[in-house]
Amino acid sequence: MKPLLMVGWALSFGLIFQAKAETIGDFAKLNRLSQVIRGHGPTQGERAELETALRLGNGARFLETKTDQYLASDQHAFKMRVRLEELFRLKTAARLLGREGGSPSLFESEYHEKNALTYLFTEMGRQNRSWDDLLIAKDYRLFPSERFAVIQGIGVNDYGFMAALIPDLKSLSGTYSSELSNETHRDVRFSGNDPRVAGAITTSRFMTRFVTTGLNKNRKRAAEVFRVFLCDSMSAAIPSTEGKDDQIFDLMLPHDQSMTENEIRTMAQQSDSLHGSRPDCNACHFKLDPMGRTFLTSPFALSAQASPGALSFKRGQQIVKVPVKGIGELGAAITQQPEYVSCQVDHFWSWFMGSRHKLSDARRAQLSAEFDRVGRRTNDFIKILLKQPEFFELGRLMSEAEIRAQHVKTFLKKCQDCHKDQYNSNSDDGSFPDFTKWPIGGSADEMARWTRKISRAMDLAHDGESPVMPPRTAPWRTSLREVNLLKSWIADGAPDETGRRTVAP
Amino acid sequence: MAGAQTNQRFKVLKSAEPTGTVIVMSFEDGREARYLQRRSQMRWSAMQMDLTETLCVSSQAAARCELTLPLVVADGLFIWTKHPEASRLGQEVMYLPGGGQPKQHLVEQQGVHFVSIEEQQRLGSRTLAGLKGRLSCDKFEWLTNVPNVPGRVLPTALSVASWSGETNTSTLETNVAENQAVNGGFDVQLSILNGNTYQIDNATYYTAFAGSPALVSQGPATLVTHDKQGELCQTTFNMSLGKTTQIINELREEIKNVTPVQGPFPIDILTRIEFSMKGIATNAESATFAGAFE
């Protein structure tokens, strides 16, 4: 009896041990799924259900079912909305709920909750909409929020914003009449080829966030479209290659306190003109200006008249230029670019994998194909990501060399954002190398040359006392910590992630 | 009751009458107050517009223009129509916020109405017919593509695709003040009056910033028109409101002596701003104030 008991005990222990190991993994999976998709952990009931499923050998099936349920939940729709608000640099719903400090006014809450953009963002997850809808959707749910229209006096509500396209909204917008609509909302749909509307970027909230002026010429809006949809961040900095920094700086930020507002505006226009005439500046303006033109007729609300422009950017050494009849065609043109697909894959990767796992070029290409295969549908692509091995992998600890290299690359990325499309008269093809791909310039010699240039430009020898870069006109400054980081990194031979020196110290 | 620092609950009642919408604050204790308006005489005001940049003609065609609009100043106030103290009848309702704060006018803001097409569109042309704004310029090349030479013949009718005005203000997204286009009109139609003046006839759409007129702005104005090739282009002007401000101040003084009446303006956007400043929306069914009214 005793041996049998022993065997029984051993078997039981083995089973328990095995079950326990699996159970721990699956509970962690459930927790991660719930946290990432819904923003909170699973309920006690769900844990109990998982336990039962595991007992019956249905653990994997259960997790799959739960994934579908979570993706169909309001919490997921809300979380995707918050992700999109963060991506677009809008005030997030989480902030409005007081989770990030500060308490919103009633006006703020109403404005942020009841508008076409918030609705579209929420629908992306709720309806498993195609991600392209952010750029090509022609259907909107409009809200006649009164307070947004008149109390704050800032921008117009959805009805006022769209009233030029849908004339009967005019009398309901609050702009023309005190008699606001009794409607809570109105669903509108434009034809599929309407050149005037383009998903998220032709909403009141987007245009109110990224305002324009006669001087700015919608470049701010264009820059945001490039950043969000093509992962092309542009800085407003004016690089210092022709020794005109001081001249431009004085024009941009006049010191004379006695100047009138009009004088300052005139100075700013001169600065803009000087800025626009420089080849360095053209590196960004050849992209921003043609796209900005598509917003030309819609400075404060959406115009019924489309404004032609173009999608223009660099692909390697080639200029891609797609003429468009209006914002609507612009949105469609962007969705047809491979850069758009890989950029959106990057956003999703960052949201669902975090920074623990780097996305290699090969994986990006593979996932881009998957993105297309599922019709670019939001939840369908998320499901693909959730099945990637990295999703349930624990992040490994990074080595000191990796951390240091990552910090240096993060800093050099800021330089790269400005220099990437500029003309480099010292190179054969006129381009600057990617500072975040080492060795910079592709060889040890080039790496050495570039680290010397960086060192001089940042005046590392004097702890950054008189730097040429970033230029005085740039919106950012190098901190002493960053100076020390770059200085010690170059002094140590600019080691890469493996700790291997890329130049002789 | 008067002066008591208590929360006083009231309803906002609205009814349409031939003279316009009537708004009544009806208090639980039986008191009532009616919303009336005061309106100044109409004055013409010319605002200087100096061209600072045009992308419509190859040469920098400096031009000096003037936008002339008729304007009135109006304000609104609540007048007691039912009150237990007979001496208060016909007097303005004052708000006592409590906490040692002085009493306030319930409607504080005076509104400046530039009587122009946007006003006519908002308010109907009943009282404002025939008052059209004008745009005069010493040179019109930026708008018409017609060189400024003797004997030039300007087009009799033109359309400005977009006319926007800038103000330095913050948005609810950033809470940071910056210059931005906030008001203006689309498809603003002009017809020629004489050699250097166009009349502003109509527009298909207008929007205004906080009750201000659509075509007037503190900051620059940008007009999107068509160049010689028929392509859209923009011209920016600095606006100078110096003389206009002076006229507005004069009219603000003037209306203090005007007897408030029902209408002639219907309740418009300005009214709602005034209400809202105290937290009363005209479409609110009821409201409670932490304070009192006397």
CB contact set of A66 (below 8 Å; sequence gap of 6+): A30, A33, A34, A42, A46, A50
Which residues of A fall within a CB distance of 8 Å from B164? 214, 299-300
Tell whether A52 lies on the interface with B, counting CB pairs under 8 A.
Answer: no
Helix spans in B81-124 (H): 117-123
User: What's the pLDDT score for residue A434?
Assistant: 86
Which residues of B fall within a CB distance of 8 Å from A164? 186, 204-205
User: What's the pLDDT score for residue B208?
Assistant: 59
- Per-residue pLDDT of B233-286, as tens digits, reads 999 999 998 888 898 889 888 888 888 887 655 444 334 434 433 444 444 445
Site of tokens 């002639």: B264
Rounded to the nearest angstrom, the gap between the alpha carbon of residue A448 and the centroid of all alpha carbons in its chain is 33
User: What's the pLDDT score for residue A232?
Assistant: 92
Tokens of residue A53, six digits: 């499923």
Res A250 pLDDT > 80: no
Helix spans in A323-443 (H): 327-335, 338-353, 361-373, 378-386, 389-392, 400-419
Query: Which of B230, B265, B268 shows the shortest CA–CA distance to B39?
Result: B265
Query: Which of A291, A328, A301 shows the shortest CA–CA distance to A136?
Result: A328
Say how many C-beta atoms besides its own lie within 10 A of residue A373's C-beta: 11
pLDDT-derived band of residue A396, with 50, 70 and 90 as boundaries? low
pLDDT-derived band of residue A285, with 50, 70 and 90 as boundaries? confident
Pairing of strands B221-226, B232-240: antiparallel
* Test the A interface: residue of B205, B232, B235, B276 with most A CBs within 10 Å: B205
User: What's the pLDDT score for residue A466?
Assistant: 85
State whether B186 and A164 contact (CB < 8 Å). yes
Query: Which of B102, B44, B41 shows the shortest CA–CA distance to B253?
Result: B41
User: What's the pLDDT score for residue A12?
Assistant: 35
Res A304 pLDDT > 80: yes
Tell whether A47 lies on the interface with B, counting CB pairs under 8 A.
Answer: no
- Per-residue pLDDT of B154-200, as tens digits, reads 999 999 999 999 988 877 787 788 888 988 889 999 999 988 999 98
State whether A211 and B178 contact (CB < 8 Å). yes
| Rounded Cα gap, residues B150 and A97, in angstroms | 66
Rounded to the nearest angstrom, the gap between the alpha carbon of residue A397 and the centroid of all alpha carbons in its chain is 26
State whether B268 and A178 contact (CB < 8 Å). yes
Say how many C-beta atoms besides its own lie within 10 A of residue B158's C-beta: 18
The ipTM estimated for the assembled molecules is 0.79
How far apart, in Å, do the first and last CA atoms of chain B sit?
8
Element (H, E) at B203: none
> Mean pLDDT in chain B?
78
Res A324 pLDDT > 60: yes
| Rounded Cα gap, residues A201 and A298, in angstroms | 11
pLDDT: is A400 or B58 the higher one? A400
Closest CB to B171: pick one of A154, A163, A170.
Answer: A154
State whether B172 and A265 contact (CB < 8 Å). no
pLDDT-derived band of residue A337, with 50, 70 and 90 as boundaries? very high
| Rounded Cα gap, residues A421 and A201, in angstroms | 25
Return the domain boundaries, chain A: 100-234+288-335, 342-392, 400-491
User: What's the pLDDT score for residue A377?
Assistant: 98
Residue A400 CB burial class (10 angstroms; 0-12, 13-18, ≥19):
exposed
Site of tokens 């992209």: A287
State whether A214 and B180 contact (CB < 8 Å). no
pLDDT-derived band of residue B16, with 50, 70 and 90 as boundaries? low
Total residues belonging to chain B: 294
Three-state DSSP at B155 gives coil
CB A24 within 8 A of CB A30: no
pLDDT-derived band of residue A234, with 50, 70 and 90 as boundaries? confident
| Rounded Cα gap, residues A112 and A351, in angstroms | 22
CB contact set of B231 (below 8 Å; sequence gap of 6+): A308
Beta pairing partners, A3: none
Closest CB to A155: pick one of B182, B205, B273.
Answer: B182
State whether B222 and A299 contact (CB < 8 Å). yes
CB contact set of A366 (below 8 Å; sequence gap of 6+): none
Tokens of residue B132, six digits: 């059209």
Tokens of residue A72, six digits: 């169909």
Give the gap in angstroms from C-alpha B279 to the nearest C-alpha of chain A.
10
Query: Which of A146, A81, A145 shows the shortest CA–CA distance to A119?
Result: A81
Number of A:B CB contacts under 8 A? 159
Mean pLDDT of A112-120: 91
State whether B182 and A296 contact (CB < 8 Å). no
Mean pLDDT of A182-191: 89
pLDDT-derived band of residue A176, with 50, 70 and 90 as boundaries? very low
State whether B52 and A297 contact (CB < 8 Å). no
Radius of gyration of chain B (CA): 23
Three-state DSSP at B192 gives strand
Res B99 pLDDT > 90: no
